[in-house]
């Protein structure tokens, strides 16, 4: 009789080490008889469930077989051999980027299996120790996970399930920090195509939850085919069709009537930030999908439509009520073409083009709209061909677009920001812009299997290239931006402004142009099985980045930087229960297109500080009371300042002229890179009763950020250089129009000054020593000890979690700057001026000393399942940010950027800490069987933050409101965690 899979213990095979992939997985196994001897020459047929495509393999002398680079999902495995009963297992899962690796035991014909009690127990899968890769992170089947545990319905929520991930600063939206890196260091792929926002690397295209099939969150240890990241890699594949028709629809709503309120963030007159009637959130969305065959056995489709209606309301301290709405749909789908089981073509298309409308209702009754245009179209074509058992080839081409436009009803109105930092006039975005980013991506990968060279090898080699283009035209609303300041009792701007006087800063910003970027990479990876117990992963990646200025000239280009990726896995006891692994890798990140736009364009950026004699043509006095009266006037008033004479201080931040390329970038510039070291162990428990089948693990992770690319203002050191070089003051010029150059902080500056701004050195290349630059080397280290456990779902219950003890310290966060919400990746204020680096080393914004996560589910009945998801995380640490007080010319005293407050050095992360973050989410789902109708109906309720914890998530870190003026809101709470809210859902699928 035939042997069938039965509920028993999985016997794990010695694992061949397979390279990882962007869209597929690998199914491998070893076939043995009941005596534990390998069965060679057995026929193994692997069939994807729901599709007719099958591939048949013959086991080798060790009884092994391998089906590589196959679509993720469920498979049926059938094994037959001469003298053996046929074995069939109809539910073998294959996961993204991993290897489903099993031992199958088959019985002899005429053996002892004469009745039900004698059936040989084989092939059942339990938690399996992964011997084939060194990657840390988590792989999630999106639909199955959502069915069982409460999660928000977005990619960030999936990332947060992984150890060593944390919520990023709210200034950058719903973005995730991975292993201490900033939110601008992650890379995102969908069906092999890079959807990362390459302008500043913060996020990317937005894809709805139900569009995904599986997501692989790589937090470290990833191999040579993955690059362009010093944070983590998030790899996703979308759902596909099959020979059976499937479809469904659902509706989810988060009504504001079921949301609790947060406490006020400020206490005092005029503070309305906590008003329940103003701070609201209503979110509803619905999805419809259908999949099936177009030509049975050969062409399959999956179509998807996502309708959404999101609305959020808030009110600021000026009384302006702001409502943000978003209701554009997402739609897309996938076609799979099978010429035969060995050759397939996948076509993916989706559109996430959307407009967020922000309506402002001012305290005097006026209102206006702002429009944020984001997203675009994505088109992907991928071919995969298996030519022999030892050679597979894949090729991908894709195109993507992303809108970067901000406009509104008030674009012609001059921007006004009051002394409390409220945008009270003009477009609330301040900077209005028109632009678009486009990406063309080419990729080829080959997999080659070789046996007999001192073991078994899986070579994976590949090439990928991305051609990127950005257009950008930007200016302040109304062409100007006025910000009012109130001087303190000691005056302001080094005595240029009288004590307690109202004064204003006038900024002018204009930029426009088109910019191109090219990114290319080659890699080779060898997964080498040295023995049944030892596997080595030996990889090398070479990457080159070229960025062009507005004139189409290359202004910064790196060499082919080499990234070794070296790892091992070892079967510690030889019984496949315990895996020891180690990894060393180097990762490079590209140069953000934002650098082209801001630094290598025709950017004009000036600021002037004025005393003022009155406001709005003399109607209001030049006092705080006069400003308040003007802002509250009806009809609405522009509240423009009337200047009292010439500016008391003028600064040119960018000259408006495209500088000569050689004057922008240090000639010894290295691309930003990071080294990573991991040592880990993973063990599958057996012989401990209820803990049998659990998997536990531990990893030690060390990350060291090496070279960093940042801009630096040479105007603060140029006279020191001229003195050092013996150049007279009369002949001492500027490196270029703005003085800003791109450097590796801590290294010498080797530059050719612009001949128009430094004619004395026209055409000469100079070296300015690091000692004269007066800025430290950029540093960031991350150390973590991760503990993980998993009790996999068995149809009844599951539990999974992690505990991470970490330290993230340095003088640069990386990419963005959470301290002030700056998203100018590569051009933050960190190293602009020497004085701003004083006290900059300390605990970084993404430092979280302790993080505990646990999530799981329990089937109360066959149709009712409850789930939970909990996080406990220690606080962020803060310093005090103020104006530079020393008057020694090392930094401007006009900007609130230095780690000084009240004239005292207040280093990063040293002054106070926030609050512990804690939340528990719960869910219950009820599957309602349908009589006579295919499919199921599900009712679902999720309660997020069910205990309504009110932890503060952000605090005011600026100790000065203006130079010389104390900020009374320093250390006050600026944001609380989301209060308890409920999501209700109704779905049908067949």
Average pLDDT, the chain: 89
3-class secondary-structure state, position 729: helix
Q: Is the CB of residue 229 less than 8 Å from the CB of residue 185?
A: yes
Q: Is the CB of residue 583 less than 8 Å from the CB of residue 678?
A: yes
Confidence of residue 544 (pLDDT cuts 50, 70, 90): very high
Helix (H) or strand (E) holding 724: helix 718-725
- Global pTM reads 0.90
In this predicted structure, what is the pLDDT of residue 8? 31
3-class secondary-structure state, position 578: strand
In this predicted structure, what is the pLDDT of residue 99? 73
In this predicted structure, what is the pLDDT of residue 389? 84
What's the mean pLDDT in 651-667? 87
What's the mean pLDDT in 597-623? 91
Q: pLDDT: is 281 or 762 the higher one?
A: 762
Q: What percent of the chain has pLDDT over 70?
A: 94
In this predicted structure, what is the pLDDT of residue 126? 39
Q: What are the tens digits of pLDDT across the range 699-740?
A: 999 999 999 999 999 999 999 999 999 999 999 999 998 899
| Distance between CA atoms of residues 860 and 850, nearest Å | 33
What's the mean pLDDT in 553-568? 93
In this predicted structure, what is the pLDDT of residue 438? 97
What's the mean pLDDT in 230-238? 96
| Distance between CA atoms of residues 561 and 546, nearest Å | 12
In this predicted structure, what is the pLDDT of residue 871? 98
Joined together, the tokens standing for residue 923 give 């869910």
Residue 488 has pLDDT above 70, yes or no: yes
Residue 888 has pLDDT above 90, yes or no: yes
**Helix and strand tally (H, E) in the chain?**
6, 62
How far CA 657 is from CA of 474, 598, 757, 936, in Å, comes to: 15, 12, 11, 64
Confidence of residue 266 (pLDDT cuts 50, 70, 90): low
In this predicted structure, what is the pLDDT of residue 97? 75
Neighbours of 453 (CB within 10 A): 9
In this predicted structure, what is the pLDDT of residue 276? 38
Confidence of residue 563 (pLDDT cuts 50, 70, 90): very high
Highest-pLDDT range among 62-66, 102-106, 617-621: 617-621
Q: Is the CB of residue 488 less than 8 Å from the CB of residue 883?
A: no
Q: 462: closest CA among 18, 21, 16?
A: 21
Instruction: Assess whether the previous peptide bond of 653 is cis (omega < 30° from 0).
Output: no
CA–centroid distance for 943 within its chain: 26
Highest-pLDDT range among 98-107, 425-434, 538-547: 538-547
Q: Is the CB of residue 674 less than 8 Å from the CB of residue 638?
A: no
Spell out a b/e string for 518-545, using b for 16 or more CB atoms within 10 Å of the CB, else e. bbbbbbbbbbbbeeebbbbbbbbbbbbb
Q: What percent of the chain has pLDDT over 90?
A: 66
How far CA 675 is from CA of 142, 622, 746, in Å, comes to: 31, 55, 18
In this predicted structure, what is the pLDDT of residue 130? 63
Q: Is the CB of residue 864 less than 8 Å from the CB of residue 870?
A: no
| Distance between CA atoms of residues 79 and 104, nearest Å | 9
Residue 982 has pLDDT above 60, yes or no: yes
**Window from 161-170, 319-328, 349-358, 909-918 with minimum mean pLDDT:** 319-328
Residue 451 has pLDDT above 60, yes or no: yes
Q: Is the CB of residue 966 less than 8 Å from the CB of residue 903?
A: no
Q: Which distant-in-sequence residues (6+ apart) come within 8 Å of 690 by Cβ? A: none
| Distance between CA atoms of residues 388 and 486, nearest Å | 75
In this predicted structure, what is the pLDDT of residue 33? 86
**Window from 306-310, 373-377, 429-433, 827-831 with minimum mean pLDDT:** 429-433
Residue 652 has pLDDT above 50, yes or no: yes
The full DSSP string for 328-393 is --EEEEEEEEEEETTEEEEEEEEE--EEEEEEEE-TTS-EEEEEEEE--EEEEEEEEEEEETTEEE
Q: What are the tens digits of pLDDT across the range 897-917?
A: 999 999 999 999 999 999 999
Q: Which distant-in-sequence residues (6+ apart) come within 8 Å of 376 by Cβ? A: 205, 351, 352, 353, 400, 401, 402, 403, 436
| Distance between CA atoms of residues 489 and 483, nearest Å | 20
Q: pLDDT: is 774 or 270 the higher one?
A: 774
In this predicted structure, what is the pLDDT of residue 344? 94
Q: pLDDT: is 347 or 19 the higher one?
A: 347
Q: What are the tens digits of pLDDT across the range 290-329?
A: 999 999 999 999 999 999 988 887 777 667 788 888 899 9
Q: Is the CB of residue 190 less than 8 Å from the CB of residue 216?
A: no
Q: Which long-range contacts (CB under 8 A, 24 or more apart) does 352-355 make?
A: 352/205, 352/206, 352/207, 352/376, 352/378, 353/328, 353/377, 353/403, 354/206, 354/326, 354/328, 354/330, 355/326, 355/328
Q: 853: closest CA among 806, 804, 902, 812?
A: 804
């Amino acid at each position: 009789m035939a042997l069938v899979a039965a509920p028993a213990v999985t016997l794990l095979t010695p694992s061949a080490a397979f390279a990882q992939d962007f869209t597929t997985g690998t199914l491998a196994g070893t076939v043995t008889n009941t005596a534990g001897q390998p069965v060679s020459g057995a026929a193994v047929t692997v069939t994807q469930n729901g599709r007719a495509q099958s591939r048949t393999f013959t086991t080798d002398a060790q009884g092994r077989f391998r089906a590589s680079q196959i679509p993720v999902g469920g498979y049926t495995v059938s094994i037959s051999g001469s003298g053996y009963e046929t074995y069939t297992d109809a539910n073998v899962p294959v996961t993204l980027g991993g290897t489903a690796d099993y031992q199958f035991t088959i019985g002899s014909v005429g053996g002892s299996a004469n009745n039900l009690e004698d059936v040989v127990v084989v092939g059942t899968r339990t938690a399996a120790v992964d011997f084939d890769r060194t990657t840390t992170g988590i792989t999630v089947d999106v639909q199955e996970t959502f069915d069982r545990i409460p999660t928000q319905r977005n990619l960030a929520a999936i990332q947060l399930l992984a150890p060593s991930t944390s919520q990023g600063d709210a200034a950058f939206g719903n973005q995730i920090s991975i292993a201490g890196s900033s939110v601008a260091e992650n890379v995102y792929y969908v069906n092999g195509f890079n959807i990362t926002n390459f302008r500043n690397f913060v996020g990317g295209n937005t894809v709805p939850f139900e569009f995904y099939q599986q997501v692989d969150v790589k937090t470290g240890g990833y191999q040579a085919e993955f690059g362009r990241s010093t944070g983590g890699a998030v790899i996703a594949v979308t759902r596909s069709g099959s020979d059976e028709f499937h479809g469904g629809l659902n509706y989810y709503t988060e009504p504001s009537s079921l949301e609790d309120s947060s406490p006020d963030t400020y206490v005092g007159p005029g503070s309305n930030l906590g008003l329940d009637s103003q701070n609201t959130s209503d979110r509803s969305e619905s999805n419809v999908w259908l999949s099936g065959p177009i030509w049975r056995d050969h062409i399959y489709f999956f179509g998807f439509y996502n309708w959404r209606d999101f609305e959020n309301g808030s009110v600021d301290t000026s009384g302006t009520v702001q409502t943000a709405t978003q209701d554009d749909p997402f739609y897309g789908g996938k076609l799979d073409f099978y010429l035969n089981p060995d050759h397939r073509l996948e076509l993916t298309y989706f559109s996430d083009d959307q407009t967020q409308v922000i309506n402002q209702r001012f305290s005097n009754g006026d209102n206006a709209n702002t429009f944020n245009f984001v997203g675009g179209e994505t088109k992907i074509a991928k071919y995969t061909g298996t030519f022999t058992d030892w050679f597979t080839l894949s090729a991908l081409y894709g195109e993507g677009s992303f809108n970067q436009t901000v406009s509104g009803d008030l674009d012609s109105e001059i921007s006004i920001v009051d002394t409390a930092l409220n945008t009270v006039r003009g477009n609330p975005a301040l900077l209005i812009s028109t632009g678009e980013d486009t990406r063309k991506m080419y990729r080829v990968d080959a997999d080659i299997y070789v046996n007999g060279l001192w073991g078994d090898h899986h070579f994976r080699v590949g090439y990928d290239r991305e051609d990127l283009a950005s257009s950008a035209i930007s200016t302040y609303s109304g062409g100007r931006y006025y910000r009012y300041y109130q001087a303190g009792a000691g005056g302001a701007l080094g005595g240029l402004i009288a004590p307690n006087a109202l004064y204003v800063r006038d900024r002018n910003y204009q930029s426009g142009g088109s910019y191109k970027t090219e990114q290319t990479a080659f890699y080779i990876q060898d997964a080498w099985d040295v023995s049944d117990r030892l596997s080595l992963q030996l990889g090398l990646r070479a990457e080159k980045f070229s960025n062009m200025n507005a004139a189409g000239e290359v202004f910064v280009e790196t060499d082919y930087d080499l990234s070794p990726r070296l790892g091992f896995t070892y079967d510690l006891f030889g019984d496949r229960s315990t895996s020891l692994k180690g990894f060393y890798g180097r990762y490079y990140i590209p140069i953000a297109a934002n650098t082209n736009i801001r630094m290598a364009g025709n950017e004009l950026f000036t600021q002037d500080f004025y005393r003022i004699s009155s406001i709005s043509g003399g109607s209001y006095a030049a006092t705080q009371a006069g400003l308040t009266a003007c802002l509250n006037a009806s009809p609405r008033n522009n509240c423009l300042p009337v200047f009292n004479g010439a500016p008391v201080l003028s600064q040119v931040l960018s000259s408006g002229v495209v500088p000569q390329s050689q004057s922008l970038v240090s000639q010894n510039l290295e691309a930003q890179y990071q080294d990573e070291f991991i040592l880990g162990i993973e063990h599958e428990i057996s012989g401990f009763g209820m803990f049998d089948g659990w998997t536990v693990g531990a990893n030690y992770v060390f990350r060291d950020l090496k070279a960093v690319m940042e801009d630096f203002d040479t105007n603060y050191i140029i006279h020191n250089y001229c003195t050092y070089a013996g150049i007279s003051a009369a002949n001492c010029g500027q490196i270029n129009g703005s003085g800003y150059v791109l450097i590796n902080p801590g290294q010498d500056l080797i530059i050719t000054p612009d001949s128009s701004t430094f004619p004395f050195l026209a055409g000469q290349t100079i070296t300015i020593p690091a000692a004269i630059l007066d800025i430290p080397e950029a540093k960031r280290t991350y150390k973590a000890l991760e503990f993980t456990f998993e009790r996999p779902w068995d149809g009844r219950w599951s539990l999974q979690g992690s505990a991470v003890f970490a330290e993230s310290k340095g003088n640069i966060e990386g990419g963005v700057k959470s301290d002030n919400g700056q998203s100018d990746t590569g051009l933050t204020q960190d190293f602009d001026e020497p004085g701003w680096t004083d006290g900059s080393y300390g605990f970084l914004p993404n430092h979280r000393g302790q993080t505990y996560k646990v999530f799981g589910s329990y089937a109360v009945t066959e149709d009712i399942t409850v789930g939970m998801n909990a996080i406990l995380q220690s606080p962020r640490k803060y310093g005090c940010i103020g104006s530079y007080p020393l008057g020694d010319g090392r930094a401007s005293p006009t900007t609130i950027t230095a780690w000084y407050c009240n004239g005292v050095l207040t280093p990063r992360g040293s002054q106070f800490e926030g609050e512990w973050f804690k939340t528990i989410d719960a869910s219950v789902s009820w599957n309602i069987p349908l009589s006579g109708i295919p499919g199921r109906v599900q009712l679902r309720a999720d309660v997020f933050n069910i205990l309504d914890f009110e932890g503060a998530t952000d605090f005011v870190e600026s100790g000065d409101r203006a130079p010389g003026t104390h900020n009374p809101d320093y250390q006050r709470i600026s944001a609380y965690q989301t209060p308890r809210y409920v999501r209700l859902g109704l779905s049908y699928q067949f």
